[in-house]
Structure 1
Amino acid sequence: MSLIILHTTINAPLEVCFDLSRSIELHQISTKKSDEKVIAGKMSGLISLHETVTWKARHFGLWLQLTSKVTEYNAPNFFVDEMVSGPFKSFRHEHIFEIKEGHTIMTDRFEFQSPLGFLGKFVNGLFLKSYMEKLLTERNLVIKESAEGDAWRELLSRVEV
């Protein structure tokens, strides 16, 4: 198992950060480099408990599909999505939100296991863990920029309450 932990400080309300992290639209914006698109499950809006989403994206020159499901949910402080099917042997992504000194601290705890046994461990050590950390960091930057600016208003205004 590999573990990535990231902390992002955001000057925006906790609820906005929480909702942006669940936004299907924001996820697609943050993964433009890999041309990630939703192809099944929750197609738009904010993903919630027991909902699934299937993504198709290009990574390492290959088109890959991954389905994840929200398995734990405690708004607006915590949710977990886990891989149901896809290229990893497994993954669990904990999204944790708390207020410290007037700022939202968004913590990602991403634990994954590479496929292919020993070969997967080698690939992970060689580049996969750093690749995944970069993807999460880029996504968090989009969340931060959207929450601290006005982009969140448009993204979340289209959400059914």
Structure 2
Amino acid sequence: MPALIEIVSVINAAPDVVFDLELDVDVHAASLRGSQETATTSTGRRRLTLGDEVTFRARHLGLRWCMTSRITVHERPHRFVDEQTRGPFSAFRHEHLFEGLDGGGTRMTDRVTMSAPWGPLGAVAARALVAPYLRRLLRQRAAHIRSLAEAHDRRA
């Protein structure tokens, strides 16, 4: 059974600003600096778009991880989806939603659905260990995006 993680953040910046920051692989790597995250794109561009693939390498839970994802939906500035094509999960889908708020802010929702390998044992590990860890990483990433987006919005 897949695990579902949903994180909602309110950011005082326009949806297009938040959307673009979320698709910038350098911003992604900087938001997870503690895990020594690196990102390599299939195109060499640092901002992803529909069909692009990105390979992330990092240290999480004491292990080296490598995961490649493809942008399968790109509806700027409202929504994009990345899905694992190679990596540690049986399935991993991350939907990013951006809703404009009155006053110019954005409600950003990260919705991750993931399944672990190794049958029932993997499902227990996913729910007990991996899902809480991913929840913390998503909150950390959202705080980083909020900081950059709000600083950008003040300059604009």
Query: TM-score, length-normalised on structure 2?
Result: 0.92
Which of 141, 144, 155 is the aligned partner of 1:142? 144
Counterpart residue number, 1:95: 96
Counterpart residue number, 1:158: none
- State the secondary structure of the residue aligned to 1:149: helix
- How many pairs does the alignment contain? 153
Q: Tell me if structure 2 keeps the 8 A contact 1:13–1:104.
A: yes
- State the secondary structure of the residue aligned to 1:132: helix
Taking the aligned partners of 2:154 and 2:54, their CA distance within structure 1 comes to: 21
- State the secondary structure of the residue aligned to 2:94: strand
Q: Tell me if structure 2 keeps the 8 A contact 1:64–1:87.
A: yes
Q: Tell me if structure 1 keeps the 8 A contact 2:41–2:52.
A: no
In the TM superposition, residue 42 of structure 1 has moved relative to its aligned partner by 4.3
In the TM superposition, residue 61 of structure 1 has moved relative to its aligned partner by 1.8
- One-letter identity of the residue aligned with 1:87: P
Q: Tell me if structure 1 keeps the 8 A contact 2:32–2:141.
A: yes
Query: TM-score, length-normalised on structure 1?
Result: 0.89
Greater displacement, 88-97 / 41-50: 41-50
Structure 2 unaligned residues grouped into runs of 5+: none
- One-letter identity of the residue aligned with 2:141: R
In the TM superposition, residue 33 of structure 1 has moved relative to its aligned partner by 1.2
In the TM superposition, residue 10 of structure 1 has moved relative to its aligned partner by 0.5
* Runs of 4+ off more than 6 Å: none
State whether structure 2 residue 70 is matched by structure 1 residue 65: no
- State the secondary structure of the residue aligned to 2:47: coil
- State the secondary structure of the residue aligned to 2:16: helix
State whether structure 2 residue 16 is matched by structure 1 residue 48: no
Taking the aligned partners of 2:41 and 2:114, their CA distance within structure 1 comes to: 22
- State the secondary structure of the residue aligned to 2:26: helix
Identical counterparts, % of pairs: 37
